[in-house]
Amino acid sequence: MRLGVILPLIDIGGDPGVVAEYAQTAEALGYREIGAPDHVLGVNAASRPDWGARNTSADLFHDPFVLFGFLSGICKTAIFSTQVLIVAQRQTVLVAKQAASLDVLSGGRFRLGIGVGWNKVEYVGLNEDFHNRGRRSEEQAEVMKALWAEPHVTFKGRWHTIDDAGINPLPVRRAIPLWYGGHEDVTLRRIAKYGDGWMMLAHPPGDAATAAFDTVRRYAEAEGRVPASIGLEVWTSIGAGSEKDWRAEVAFWKQAGVTHVSLNNTYGRNHHTRMAGRSLAEHLAALRRYRDAVADLL
Do the strands 79-82 and 110-115 form a parallel or antiparallel pair, or are they unpaired?
parallel
Is the model's pTM score more than 0.85? yes
Write the CB contacts of 51 (distance below 8 Å, at least 6 apart in sequence): 43, 45
For residue range 195-221, what is the model confidence (pLDDT) as tens digits?
999 999 999 999 999 999 999 999 999
What's phi and psi for 59, nearest 5 deg? -95, 130
Which of 113, 117, 233 has its CA nearest to residue 177? 113
Mean pLDDT rounded to a whole number for the chain? 97
Res. 75 pLDDT band, cuts 50 70 90: very high
Q: Which of 263, 260, 264 is CA-nearest to residue 233?
A: 260
Mean pLDDT of 102-117: 98
Residue 100 pLDDT = 98
Positive or negative, the CA dihedral 167, 173, 175, 176 is: negative
Q: How far from chain centre, in Å, is Cα 196?
A: 12
How does pLDDT run across 231-248, given as a tens digit for each residue? 999 999 999 999 999 999
Residue 13 has a pLDDT of 97
Helices (H), 73-206: 92-105, 120-125, 133-149, 185-194
pLDDT band at 53, cuts 50/70/90? Answer: confident
Rounded to 5°, the CA angle 204-210-212 comes to: 90
Query: What's the rounded Cα separation, in Å, for the pair 210 and 215?
Result: 9
Task: Fill in the amino acid letter for 255.
Answer: Q
Angle at 255 between CA 252 and CA 258, to 5 degrees: 85
Which one-letter DSSP state was computed for residue 170? P
Element (H, E) at 85: strand 85-86
Mean local confidence (pLDDT), 103-125: 97
The DSSP call for residue 239 is S
Q: What kind and span of H or E run contains 290?
A: helix 280-294
What is the percent of the chain with per-residue pLDDT over 70, rounded to a whole number? 100
165 vs 285: CA distance, rounded Å: 49
- The pLDDT score that the predictor gives to residue 51 is 94
How far apart CA 8 and CA 268 sit, in angstroms, is 12
Q: What is the CA radius of gyration of the chain?
A: 19
pLDDT (average), residues 89-102: 98
pLDDT for the residue numbered 87: 98
Domains and CATH numbers, the chain: 2-297 (3.20.20.30)
Q: Cβ atoms within 10 A of the Cβ of 54, count?
A: 14
What percentage of the chain has pLDDT greater than the value 90? 99
d(CA 141, CA 88): 10
